[in-house]
Structure 1
Amino acid sequence: MLNIISISIVPAIIIIIIVHGYIKGVDIYSAFIEGAKEGLKTSISIMPYLIAIFVAVGIFRGSTVLDIFTHLLSPITNLLGLPKEILPLTLIRPISGSGALGVVKDIIANYGPDSFIGNLASIMMGSSETIFYTITLYFGSVGIEDYSYTLKAALISYIISIFLTTFICSAIYII
């Protein structure tokens, strides 16, 4: 039953939109073309922001900065209960989703999916956001240039989520 629903949901939505537009007397083709034009304009307007974030991610991943940060922060995070193996994930996740996915893949390959570190990495990956990419995409698409308050709030919530996830996983893993 789920297979049938998943196959038919997109065509059903398209049919509903077309029927609704026809009932309301909307020129569906013209509305579609106008939406496509706006989408193209938005894509072009956010292109510089996306290029900048992708270049920054490439530099960050290609250099040894990640290893240096991991080495510098590991004594502090060990005191707080965060394993040093998770540090690369916590540093790369706010910047790059694909980079973080690669880190999680490496963690699971090295420690296993059922280990504490594997579980912690999986939960962190699923419960956090690529902050800089999201801000770049959404704020750049509407032309907002001052996003300092949003960035501060997002980073604070991300740091809190790291330690809450570690605490909850530690409590569950011990049980």
Structure 2
Amino acid sequence: MLTTISNSIIPMVISAVVLYGCIKKTNVYEDFIDGAFDGMKIVVELVPTLIGLFVAVRILNDSGALGLITTALKPIASLIHTPDCVIPVIITKLFSSGSATSLMLNIFNDYGPDSREGLTAAIILSCTESLFYTMSVYLMAAKVRKSRYIIPCALLSLGAGIIVSILLANMLVS
């Protein structure tokens, strides 16, 4: 039953949009093509930013900088009762959800998904955003040149998400 509903939602929405367009007497196909063309322009504008972020994450991993940052942050992690192996997940999540998810899966393989490490990594990934990826995409799409307080406020909310995630994981494991 649920599968049938899930499979029929998208065709129903598309049908509703086409029906609404017909009722309003608009050229639905032409509007669709115009929207798709505008979307392609945005994609072309965003590709250099995305490539830059992917390269940055790769360099961070391959250069050993991630290991150095992790080592530097270990005292803080132990202060707030966070497993060391979660630090790379937090850092990588700033740039790429895919890379952070890969690191989380490694934690699952090493410690198990129900372990303190696995639970902490999973909650952090669920409660945070890949900030620099998201900001670059949205700011580029909106053609914002001066971000002013957007990045500092986003970093503050990300920090709050990380702290609450760690507290929640510690409460659930204790």
CA offsets per residue over residues 107-139 of structure 1, 9 Å max, x none? Answer: 110010111111111111111110000001111
Structure 2 length as normaliser, TM-score? 0.95
Runs of 4+ in structure 1 off by over 2 angstroms are none
The letter for the 2-side match of 1:38 is D
**How far did residue 168 of structure 1 move?**
1.9
Q: Which residue of the partner structure matches residue 98 of structure 2?
A: 98
In 2, distance between residues paired with 1:28 and 1:167? 50
In 2, distance between residues paired with 1:165 and 1:122? 9
The letter for the 1-side match of 2:121 is A
CA offsets per residue over residues 32-87 of structure 1, 9 Å max, x none? Answer: 11111111111112222222222212211222000000011101221122221211
The letter for the 1-side match of 2:117 is I
In 2, distance between residues paired with 1:51 and 1:39? 18
**How far did residue 150 of structure 1 move?**
1.2
Q: Which residue of the partner structure matches residue 158 of structure 1?
A: 158
**C-alpha contact 1:82 1:163 (8 A) present in aligned 2:** no
Q: Which residue of the partner structure matches residue 79 of structure 2?
A: 79
In 1, distance between residues paired with 2:122 and 2:52? 28
Identical positions, percent: 32
In 2, distance between residues paired with 1:86 and 1:71? 12
In structure 1, the gaps of 5 or more residues are: none
**How far did residue 24 of structure 1 move?**
0.4
In 2, distance between residues paired with 1:78 and 1:65? 20
Alignment RMSD (CA, Å): 1.2
Secondary structure of 1:114 counterpart: coil
**How far did residue 94 of structure 1 move?**
1.1
In 1, distance between residues paired with 2:74 and 2:13? 50
Range moving further from structure 2, 80-89 or 67-76: 80-89
Structure 1 length as normaliser, TM-score? 0.94
Q: Which residue of the partner structure matches residue 109 of structure 1?
A: 109
How many aligned positions are there? 174
